[in-house]
Amino acid sequence: MSDTQLKTIHRALISVYHKEGLLEILELLVQHGVEIVSTGGTAQWIREQGFSCTDVENLTGYPSILGGRVKTLHPAVFGGILGRRHVEEDRKILHRYEIPWIDLVVVDLYPFEETLNSGAAEEEILEKIDVGGVALIRAAAKNHRDVVVVPSRNDYAYLLSILRQRNYTTAEERQRLARRAFAVTAAYDTAIGAWLGSDEDVLSALPNPGAPLHALRYGENPHQKGWFLGNLAENFDQLSGKELSYNNLLDLDSGYAFLEEFYQPVWVIIKHNNPCGLATSQNPTEAFDNALKADSKSAFGGVFLTNRPVPVSVAEKLKDFFFEILSAPDYEEEALDILSRRSQRILLRHKTFRRPSLVFRSALNGFLIQELDKVALGEEHLRVVTNHTPDEATWQDLRFAWKVVRHVRSNAIVLARHQMVVGVGAGHTARIDALRHALLKAQEAGLDTCGAVLASEAFFPFADSVEMAAKAGISAIIQPGGSVRDHESIEACNRLGLAMVFTGHRHFRH
């Protein structure tokens, strides 16, 4: 690499909202003899830490005006950032007007999305639209041949990794940060556009390219690279265990969807994005026992999730059981001690879930985009279409089974009894095969299907499936309805004494 591609940092402009993580950067810059220029509250904070800095007003000759709306938007600032060191005319102009070169720009933008999500008033949201910060980032990124830009507090660590070794940057480092910079400003503007636009503006909800990018151990398989774009810390704290993998995150996403469905204590066990056990009970330990009972063989190496603190009673049952992940809102102190004895176990303390409103998936040479399937099962949707009507206990199991089956891969069948899953058939090409598999799993687990209910996430129109269910003792079926052959399954239910309920909503999941 030629010397012309190595750029020493002599002067840094720092203007940030969040100050966390900035202190070591300041210490290293001062050690390297870098002059620091700063703005408003950032300059005040820098002095409070015991460092000297030059106020940006000393460069511009103007004070901060309009309540801080205009601070850095001035040729004395942007000339120093955009000036091209290799262009003689640029050098002459900066010399003529006594504009100092700026080699490093560190910015952390006003927290627009945080303010928006807090429910703040419109005026407060407007004031959190950063103008000067975005302009500084774009200017420094544009001139990354000479200037290094740090566009977000998420990039402080990368700058630190450079400053701990040296006071210059390479062309590759500057280009990498420039790419990040434009991703950050694009995401920032997209969020503002979404707020000003309508719910139908799909592009406003594109995944945030400015979010942290986490390199994973590997992708779906060891020969594939994998990444996660987003802030995992918003979802959970990792208390112990190895690094999370691509497949771990997919299973967690599936598991959290089930937890969102239930207010009462629930345990769910996920394997390859599908539930192999799920149960609710007012007694959390009983819920755990019933969830594991459904398919303890498939639960081996699975992902366990619950919406209640993990008690010692459950920790004792799990201490010698091999599982990948356990995610809970909290743990009893002794339970955490028991579960942590195996260092590779991943233990998570999850937080409030905030699932995206749109689902993205790559397809062909583009992306498929759809709304998240979040239609709740309202009483107004339920319609009994048979001569037999479910009793109250059966109604409870039907509602339970429907909450489960809507998150199972199609074609899907869920069998449930007494608020626990007794059999799951997932991802089959024929619905009757999904039913056959669910019955087989129940049989293998020694669970009685007599009096159980059946849920199908999509049309269930054929008499042969009803006949198979009736032979196993199934008492009621819940399905969307809407097939041109619904009459066949309704007639079979009437003939065999089963109740059938239509929900009016299909829940394909591919």
- The 8-class DSSP code of residue 19 comes to -
Q: Among 144, 207, 208, which residue's Cα sits nearest to residue 176?
A: 144
Please, what's the b/e burial string for 205-215 (b: 16 or more CB within 10 A of its CB; e: otherwise)?
beebbbbbeee
3-class secondary-structure state, position 461: coil
DSSP for 157-213 reads: HHHHHHHTT-SEE-HHHHHHHHHHHHHHHHHHHHHHHHHHS-TT-GGGGS--TTS-E
Tokens of 499: 């109740």
* Residue (of 367, 366, 345) closest to 358 by Cα position: 367
Strand pairing partners for 383? 502
Cα(452)–Cα(442) distance, integer angstroms: 11
CA–CA distance, 302 with 232 (Å, rounded to integer): 20
* 3-state secondary structure (DSSP) of residue 297: helix
For 32, 33, 158, 164, 286, the CA distances from 167, given in Å and listed in that order, are 6, 9, 13, 8, 60
Three-class SS state of 305: strand
Catalytic residue of the set 10, 272, 437, 505: 272
Residue 130 CA to residue 112 CA, distance in Å, equals: 8
Q: What is the DSSP string of 307-325?
A: SSPBPHHHHHHHTTS--SE
Query: What's the rounded Cα separation, in Å, for the pair 106 and 159?
Result: 10
CB 506 within 8 A of CB 458: yes
Residue 73, SS3? coil
Kind of pairing, strands 35-38 and 227-229? unpaired
Q: What three-state secondary structure class fits 331?
A: strand
Which residue in 19, 74, 142, 214 is the catalytic one? 142
To the query of whether residue 272 is one of the catalytic residues in this protein, the response is yes
437 and 454 Cβ atoms separated by less than 8 Å? no
Check if 142 is active-site: yes
Edge-to-edge strand list for the sheet holding 266-271: 236-240, 346-350, 325-328, 303-306, 266-271, 274-280, 420-425, 413-417, 453-456, 476-479, 499-502, 383-384
Q: What own/partner pairs with CB < 8 Å and gap ≥ 24 does 231-237 have?
A: 234/351, 234/354, 235/350, 235/351, 235/353, 236/327, 236/348, 236/349, 236/350, 236/351, 237/348, 237/349, 237/351
Q: Among all residues, which ones are annotated catalytic?
A: 142, 272
